[in-house]
Structure 1
C-alpha cells in the first residue's frame, strides 16, 4: 500500500510540474506581448525560486506565476500568501546582489502575480487559458 502511495505522489508531482511549466510559458508569452523583457526564468537558490524576473521598461518586476488546472480557487492568486511575498522579496535581494558590476540599476522594483487558469479538458490549449495580471502586490 505504501508503495502505491509513493507512485501516486510522484505522478501528482510530475503533473503539477508540467502544469506549472505550461502556465509559466503562457505567462512569459503574455508579458513579452506587452513588450516586457524576460531576464530570468526559474531562478533558484537554496532558499527558493523566482518564476520570472522581467523588465517593464525601467521597472524590475518579480513575477510569481500561479497556475491551476482545477477550480480549487476562483483565481489562483489566492494561493500567494504574505509569507510567499516575503520570500519573493528575500530572493529578489539575493538576485540583485548576485548581479555583476555594471548591471542595470533598477530604481523601481515591483512584485506581480500572473494567475493562469488552464482548461481541464486540455491544459495546453492557450486559447482556453485565462490569465490575470495582478500588479504591485503588497503584504
Structure 2
C-alpha cells in the first residue's frame, strides 16, 4: 500500500473521530458507485452531511481544500444524490449538506484539522 493511501486513510479516520466527538453519527464510509466515492456520510440532528476529506503532509502545494475545484464540487453533489437514491430511509426528512475536512501535518493524528460545514 502506498504511503499516500496510508496518509489518506489516517486523515479520514481523524475526520471521522472529529465528527463523532462533535455529535455526528457516521453511517457510511468510502461508499462507492460508478460515479466515484464518498469519503464519509454522517448524521447529526436533521442534517445529512456528506463529507469530503483532504489530507496533506504540508501546505507546500497549497491548502488541502484548494483541491476541491468547481468540477470536483459538482461531482460531490452528484455522488450525494446517488448515495441518497441508494439509501432513502437514512436520508428521509434530513437536509443534505456538503462539508469538507482538511487535515494537514506529517502525522494526521496530531496535525491541524479544519471542518468547513456547508462548504460546497
User: Structure 2 length as normaliser, TM-score?
Assistant: 0.90
Shift in Å at residue 74 of structure 1?
Answer: 4.5
1:117 is aligned, of 98, 104, 110, to: 104
Runs of 4+ more than 3 Å apart: none
Question: Are 1:28 and 2:16 an aligned pair?
Answer: yes
- Give the TM-score of the pair, scaled to structure 1: 0.79
1:73–1:136 Cα change, 3 Å: farther
Question: What is the alpha-carbon distance in structure 2 between the residues aligned to residue 103 and residue 59 of structure 1?
Answer: 11
Alignment equivalent of 1:92, drawn from 49, 61, 80: 80
Q: Could you say which residue in structure 2 is the equivalent of 1:59?
A: 47
Work out which of the two has the higher radius of gyration on C-alpha atoms and give 1 or 2: 1
Per the TM alignment, residue 106 of structure 1 is displaced from its structure 2 partner at its CA by 3.5
Q: Which runs of 5+ in 1 are unaligned?
A: 1-10
Select the structure that is richer in strand: 2
Deviation string 1:35-89 (CA, Å, 9 cap, x unpaired) is 1000100000121100000112110001000000132345311111111111111
Number of positions where the alignment pairs a residue of Structure 1 with one of Structure 2:
120
User: Which structure ranks higher in relative contact order (CA pairs < 8 Å, sequence separation ≥ 6)?
Assistant: 2
Specify the alignment match of 2:94 in structure 1.
107
> Alpha carbon RMSD of aligned pairs, Å?
1.7
Distance in 2, Cα, partners of 1:97 & 1:112? 19
Gaps of 5+ in 2: none
